[in-house]
Amino acid sequence: MEPKIQALSPDGRFAISLGGFLQARYTGALAEEEPHTSHFGAPRTRLYSYGYVHSPDFRYRLMIGTPPYSQQVQFFDAYMEVRIADELRLRGGRFKIPVFREWVESARLLSSIERSPVTLHLLPGRDYGMMASGAFRHETVEYSLGVFNGAGDAATVDSNMIPAVAGRIVWNTTGHAIEGEVDFEHSPPSLALGASGYSTMKPRDSSPSPTGEILHLREHLGGVEAIFRWDGLDIAAEFMLRRRQERELSEDVGGGYLRITQYLPRAQTSIGARGSHLTGNRGSSPVRSELEAEVGYYLEEHDLKCAVDVGAALLGRQRRQERFFQAQVQVSF
């Protein structure tokens, strides 16, 4: 993202840029032909500052905002990154745990109004840690590998579960990296394949349960991804699985999605569809199958866009039906 508000020191050794975005959304849903949800909200407000100190190789980023449909301001990102070479960058602080393409991708750049249900349920969120990342052979291979305090602020595991080791690798088979979910640039044929995951556990010296028993918890998560882009067409698929083990019991929750988006430059519009499925192997595991269609209008690409989404879902093992409608306006700078 090119900064629109930026200040440079006279000698060019220091820089600070400001940016942010706001989403305003309406969501309505019918469950079994009865009104289920109807509300307006601001799912995301973000304000960030980024730049460099001493030289462009020493970068920083700070981001604050509100969680979905909340008025409580909190820190999201706070990190420093040192570029040693194109093949190696070192980052320390608080930032996204690098798993899943749809999670690593900024919400500002999504073609859909929201991430898929399976990603929302399994994404780990952010945490404090250290990470190495880089690219080889002119971005043909990209990687991220880090160690974090835990499984992230959005994960379902106990907050005392440490450490978490996470990583992601992407092979851009044609040498073209893919960023954003709408192709405004009429890209040549590009295919990216990737895999990511994390592993974490609860230490043996953890506090015992109310029964006096020491709990041994482990959680492993993995996913594979593929995205194809060519001349305004994007096709993406991702499949993910999380396994949590507690003593002799284990729960598997997983699923995937398939998304197709076509950008129409003359109309400054995208049309798309996405199908997704989330399920687990235990009776208490979430189950949701969803099919949705979306139209987006990009007055200033992602800086000013409107999107409308309609769809239907089957919920739970009883397969209750839900139909939904969403409309969203995004303004960013």
Q: Tell me the pLDDT tens digit for each residue of 259-275.
A: 999 999 999 999 999 99
Which three-class secondary structure state does DSSP give residue 118? helix
* DSSP category for residue 154: T
The mean pLDDT of 280-297, rounded to a whole number, is: 92
Whether the predicted pLDDT of 158 surpasses 70? no
Domain locations in the chain as residue ranges: 5-332
Question: Quick one: pLDDT at residue 205?
Answer: 47
Question: Taking the domain 5-332, which CATH number applies?
Answer: 2.40.160.10
pTM: 0.89
Quickly tell me which residue has 């309609």 as its tokens: 310
* Rounded percentage of the chain residues whose pLDDT exceeds 90: 72
The mean pLDDT of 276-280, rounded to a whole number, is: 96
Which H/E stretch holds residue 224?
A: strand 217-230
The larger pLDDT score, comparing residue 315 to residue 284, is at: 315
Q: Tell me the pLDDT tens digit for each residue of 185-228.
A: 989 999 999 999 999 876 544 455 455 455 567 889 999 999 99
The mean pLDDT of 49-53, rounded to a whole number, is: 95
Instruction: Return d(Cα 255, Cα 76) in angstroms, integer.
Output: 27
Instruction: Return d(Cα 307, Cα 296) in angstroms, integer.
Output: 4
CA torsion through residues 41, 268, 111, 171, sign: negative
Q: Tell me the pLDDT tens digit for each residue of 101-157.
A: 999 999 999 999 999 999 999 999 999 999 999 999 888 999 999 999 877 777 655
The mean pLDDT of 279-295, rounded to a whole number, is: 91
CA dihedral (183, 184, 189, 195) in degrees, to 10, reads -30
